[in-house]
Amino acid sequence: MSTGTTTSVSTHVLDTCIGRPAASVPVRLATRPDPTAGWTPLGGSVTDADGRCADLPGLPEGTAQVRLEFDTDVYFARETDGPAAAVVAPPAAAPPVGGTFFPEVAITFTVRPGEHHHVPLLLSPFGYSVYRGS
C-alpha cells in the first residue's frame, strides 16, 4: 500500500564488461519497517533498454529498509549466448551453471522518510558494485 510520502527508490544496472546498460534484468523490491521484521514483497520490474526500472512500486509509510533483488543469472545466461559472449567470459573462466558467478544480487539499504534513494548496480560476470546515487 503506497501512501502520499515522497520516499522513493530507483535503480539502474550497468554491464561494466561491455560498457552498456543491462536491459531485461528482473528486479524485485521488498520492504520492512525495522531490521527485526520480516520482508514484505512489493513487486518488481524489469530494466529497460537504458538499464533502468521506471515502474518500481512506491514505498509504504513506515518503511525503514529496502531490499532490491536482481536476477543476474537470467541476464548473463542470455548475454553468453549473444554477440557479447566473447567479451563476457572466456569459455575456460565461465561458471559451470548459468552465465555468472553471482546468480542474484540482493542489496539491502536504509531509507529516510521524504528522500529519494537511487541505487545503481555496476555488474560483471564475476563481480558487482553498488552505491547511493543521486
- Tell me how far apart the alpha carbons of residues 72 and 104 are, in angstroms, rounded to a whole number: 5
Residue 128: what pLDDT? 97
At 20-44, the pLDDT tens digits run 999 999 999 999 999 999 999 999 9
Q: What would the 3-class secondary structure string for 27-75 be? A: EEEEEECCCCCCCEEEEEEECCCCCECCCCCCCCCCCCEEEEEECHHHH
pLDDT tens string 66-77: 999 999 999 998
CB 64 within 8 A of CB 32: yes
For range 56-64, the mean pLDDT: 93
Q: Which CATH superfamily is domain 8-130 in?
A: Transthyretin/hydroxyisourate hydrolase domain (2.60.40.180)
Note the pTM of the prediction, 2 decimals: 0.82
